[in-house]
Amino acid sequence: MKKTYMSDLYSKYAEKPWSETFQLVRRCMDKTRTDPKPCEPVMRCQQKLNEALNDVFSLTGCITVPTRLGSHRSPTETACYLTADLFYLEVLLLPGGGVQDVKVAQHGEAPESNSALCQLLRMKKFKEFSVKLDDLASLYNIPGDSDTKIKVYASLQHLQKDLLKISNLPRRLIESDVHVDMVLNGRIGNFVPCREGNPMSIQYYIRPSDVLMEMFCPGEGSRGQVAMVVVGASSTTHMLQMESHILTPPQFDSLGFPVFRPMSEVKTESLPAFFLLKLQPPVPTLNSFIQQMNQITDVTPEADLQVEPLFQLIKQLSLTEKTCESMCDEEDSHFHTLPDAELHSYVFGGAEWKCDLWKGALIHAVPFTHPAHVPALLELLRHQSVINALLASCITRHEQQPGLTYELNCEVLPESAFSFSVTFSLLDSDSLAVLLVSVLDCRQVKCRLLMADLVDPSLDDYISRVLTRCMSIPITMRAIRRRIASLRPPAPQFPEPVCALMAEGSPSVAPHSAVETAFHNPKSEEAGAV
């Protein structure tokens, strides 16, 4: 095969860096030639190389705009730097224009490879890369000079040490799954310290459905409720720690929490910032909980909160905006399809949910200034998350449709603070029943069934255990329907001629009959409710 000039050039410089190749090409282009016509293949090759590298540099430069970072190239043009006052990012490039590595150097620390950021750039997921950079930049997102930012970052490091100490304190295991127990019952949930340039994070609540999804389809389940621990700018100054608040060796109170040193004995700095629990996703929160949070931290949120009925906030977060707009404001109707083709209908009365007790706001971040605030704030967020999970379990994208036969028709209404009712009627009964659900705290959900001609002292406890286990109103209502059917006396036996006459006059079996005959054992229902 006849060799070309380009193949010879490639073979000769295959092992050399692009910088030397560029220098050679430039020297060749600058030489005086007797032939005034330029070498077009070399010109096209140089143009393509410059375009490829410029695309990489342009993309990284665009990413810096929303994250308020600077950017520049290395002298050898083999790396791109994204810089801030107290940290920088180094993107190392391969000779072909690909990404070799991404390193993060935080204030006072050596650069460390960040596999997550590197993978996002390699996959050209620039939007996700920008979100990660925004989380990193939020560690220093405060006004002031470099000295002020260094002090705030140092305070954040001391906070991390205290939270890590609290997280590692011994405690009694409640759930059989260690990870789930840490999330739901740990003093500060599942705490992950800052690493690879990622902020501290706390996973503080997870639904049973998320646990099952992760069990059967690893990687596809939701992470549940997570709070990133960052700093936020404040128009007023706050006293932030410059050393640990926890006594050495640690001492404990009656609840097993560490005893904190008095503020007068701890080195602090007055700084224009506070710590933030940045909630992902944001949490619809009742006004009463918001007031309790303000009392715990003594920090008033600087952003004005838009107050709406809690149910509307949960619906907006659960469904797409288009779906929400298509639903009626005064009354929301949803239907659920459960296993065995069982259909439930759930109706929310719009006017009743507008009462002051059940109004709230969508909370994106919770400010605080002391490590002792975190466990108390997380308990409130868990309590609210349980309420939200129960109500959200009744909400679907499917509106009630005429012509369908429902095994259960339910109306969900607010009652007192932290309690609501589910009024329902069974398909084969004309009487109404009411299930009263009270969420006492994040670990106690009490149920009471009000129904005529039904006396079973153990039923309320059974329903409470099922609901606590599955955190789903539809699954619990199915368990109630089956338990009620098992407690009813059997239908009277007719004489044979009457039975034969009835059989002749019945053209078909009712659609729900097959479902009614498939009752589970009550104990197996509770175990399998999730």
Residue extents of the structural domains in the chain: 17-135, 139-330
Q: What is the pLDDT of residue 361?
A: 95
pLDDT at 356 over 70: yes
Assess contact for 94 and 83: CB atoms under 8 A.
Answer: no
Neighbours of 497 (CB within 10 A): 8
Query: How many Å apart are CA 244 and CA 154, to the nearest integer?
Result: 11
Please compute the mean of the pLDDT values over residues 231-259 and round it to a whole number: 89
Highest mean pLDDT among 86-100, 427-441, 482-496: 427-441
Task: Please classify residue 152 by burial: count the beta carbons closer than 10 Å to its beta carbon, then call 0-12 exposed, 13-18 middle and 19+ buried.
Answer: buried
| Residues forming a β-bridge with 284 | 362
Please compute the mean of the pLDDT values over residues 381-398 and round it to a whole number: 91
Q: Which residues contact 89 (CB under 8 A, 6 or more apart)?
A: 69, 81, 82, 83, 102, 103, 104, 105, 117, 133, 136, 197
Neighbours of 379 (CB within 10 A): 17
Query: Residue type for 346, please?
Result: Y
Q: Among 15-29, 54-68, 209-223, which stretch is predicted with the lowest mean pLDDT?
A: 54-68
pLDDT at 330 over 70: no
The greatest distance separating any two alpha carbons of the chain, rounded to the nearest whole angstrom, comes to 119
Q: What is the pLDDT of residue 128?
A: 85
Helix axes 373-392, 146-167, angle to 10 degrees: 70
pLDDT at 484 over 80: yes
Query: How many Å apart are CA 279 and CA 276, to the nearest integer?
Result: 9
Q: Give the residue carrying structure tokens 């410029």.
A: 54
Q: What is the pLDDT of residue 485?
A: 82
If one compares 207 and 210, the residue with the highest pLDDT of the two is 207
Nearest CA to 486 out of 461, 450, 523, 512 is that of 523
Please compute the mean of the pLDDT values over residues 294-310 and round it to a whole number: 87
Neighbours of 312 (CB within 10 A): 19
Q: What is the pLDDT of residue 522?
A: 38
Q: What is the pLDDT of residue 52?
A: 54
Query: Residue type for 97, please?
Result: G
Task: Give me the percent of the chain exceeding a pLDDT of 70.
Answer: 74
Task: Please classify residue 508 by burial: count the beta carbons closer than 10 Å to its beta carbon, then call 0-12 exposed, 13-18 middle and 19+ buried.
Answer: exposed
Q: What is the pLDDT of residue 250?
A: 82
Nearest CA to 480 out of 512, 442, 514, 434 is that of 434
SS3 118: helix
Q: Among 10-24, 120-134, 223-237, 257-271, which stretch is predicted with the lowest mean pLDDT?
A: 10-24
- pLDDT level of residue 514 (50, 70, 90 thresholds): very low
Q: What is the pLDDT of residue 351?
A: 85
Please compute the mean of the pLDDT values over residues 330-351 and round it to a whole number: 74
- Order of strands across the sheet with 419-426? 331-338, 342-349, 408-414, 419-426, 432-441, 444-451
Highest mean pLDDT among 250-264, 354-368, 400-414: 354-368
Q: What is the pLDDT of residue 85?
A: 73
Query: How many Å apart are CA 73 and CA 55, to the nearest integer?
Result: 13
Residue 459 region by backbone torsions, left for phi larger than 0, else alpha for psi between -120 and 50, else beta: alpha
Q: What is the pLDDT of residue 47?
A: 64
pLDDT at 314 over 80: yes
Please compute the mean of the pLDDT values over residues 325-351 and round it to a whole number: 69
Assess contact for 64 and 82: CB atoms under 8 A.
Answer: yes
Task: Please classify residue 512 by burial: count the beta carbons closer than 10 Å to its beta carbon, then call 0-12 exposed, 13-18 middle and 19+ buried.
Answer: middle
pLDDT at 419 over 90: yes
Distance of alpha carbon 70 from its chain centroid, rounded? Answer: 30
Task: Give me the percent of the chain exceeding a pLDDT of 90.
Answer: 34
How do the residues of the chain divide into helix, strand and coil, expressed in percent and rounded to 5?
40, 25, 35
- pLDDT level of residue 183 (50, 70, 90 thresholds): very high
C-alpha angle 13/16/18, rounded to 5°? Answer: 95
